[in-house]
Amino acid sequence: MNQQENHTATREVVKVELGERSYDIQIGRNLFDTDGQVITTLMQNCRVAIVSDTNVANLHLVALQSLLDSASIQHTQIILPAGEATKSYQHLQQVCDAVLEARLERNDWIIALGGGVIGDLAGFAAGLVRRGMRFIQIPTSLLAQVDSSVGGKTGINSSHGKNLVGLFNQPSLVFADTAILDTLPDRDFKAGYAEIAKYGLIDDPAFFEWLERNWRGIFSGGPEREEAIAHSCRAKARVVASDEFENGCRALLNLGHTFGHALEKAANYDTALLVHGEGVSIGMVMAFSFSQSLELCSAEDTARVKSHLAEVGLPVSVSQLPFQLPGVDYLLDIIAQDKKVSRGKLTFILARGIGKSFIQNDVPIEKVRQFLDKALKQ
């Protein structure tokens, strides 16, 4: 991504209020240069395992190593393959064994340096090794900075579906250096933007309208980028503080994800075919279209959502997928395995309009079948 060189750098601190387990989300440009001591202060007299992937390590590992070296903090590196397929039992075991082999103790640290895949996997490993180690999220993708690094959801994928094996494990700090996003491929930046748009579509129509006007500044690296990331983190922090374990309103953050996760599974988690944010983009349009089919929201709202996501360059229809979907029964089977299902009853995040999303339990499966059958033929 390109950046605007001369905008005034802003620094935001968003707190996730969870009592004794509260933590800060540090947000700003070039935080490694200006606020790196926030990390090293936490880790004095400790050792660290850095978990990253090959793509991110090539770009950003040296900077993190130099920061730790400057504070005389011993560290080891665990570098994994890039891609969604890394969220697996095999690589979870690899991380856990490497941490133990390095003889890190319970009071030492794990740092997740990467996007959502690394954050989810490393956070899960941190919750398991020695029955729980401390960890820090350093998210290097837009999607991770606004969503997956915040809130403590960690886990891996299963042959039965996405994120079905995992636990809630809150980090001690989220350190979101927005300058890192300048190195993101255009496709990955767009995919992360889908999660930003989600916050407007859930319950903040004014924010969605602001995004319609200001998305170009977010993409070009202007001050709008930090503003959008901080706004998204504040929105998620409020929800997590009120419903940490997703027993109620936190499920709203899954807008578009039930459909999106099914599409990712259909792609066999092959990020060459579909990345998570692209699945969420199509899934959010499908959620609004499904709501429209149930006469809950207007065709105008559905068209507006679709138009904005398409304008920024995101896919908005299953017809844009570069692979053949296996069929309605297959998708329904995946949806029935989704972790938002309760005792076999289908739960969807639906919408009465932009910024008017809600949780609908016990959605008739036949209604979903009819909708999918129509959507797959368009």
Catalytic residues: 131, 153, 195, 236, 246, 250, 254, 257, 261, 276
- What is the distance between the alpha carbons of residues 274 and 271, in angstroms, rounded to a whole number? 5
Terminal alpha carbon distance of the chain: 33
Task: Cite the DSSP H helix spans in 135-222.
Answer: 142-143, 186-203, 205-220
| Residue 314 one-letter amino acid | L
- Say which residues have a Cβ less than 8 Å from residue 193's Cβ, sequence separation at least 6: 142, 215, 218, 219, 277, 312, 314
Q: What CA–CA distances, in Å, run from 10 to 6, 28, 29, 127?
A: 12, 6, 7, 33
**Residue 157 · residue 84 · CB < 8 Å:** yes
**Residue 127 · residue 94 · CB < 8 Å:** no
Radius of gyration of the chain (CA): 20
| DSSP label at residue 125 | H
Q: Is the dihedral of CA 285, 143, 115, 6 positive or negative?
A: positive
Q: Which of 25, 29, 26, 27 is nearest to 7 (CA)?
A: 29
Cα angle, residue 168 at apex, residues 166 and 172 outer, rounded to 5°:
125
- What is the distance between the alpha carbons of residues 240 and 51, in angstroms, rounded to a whole number? 25
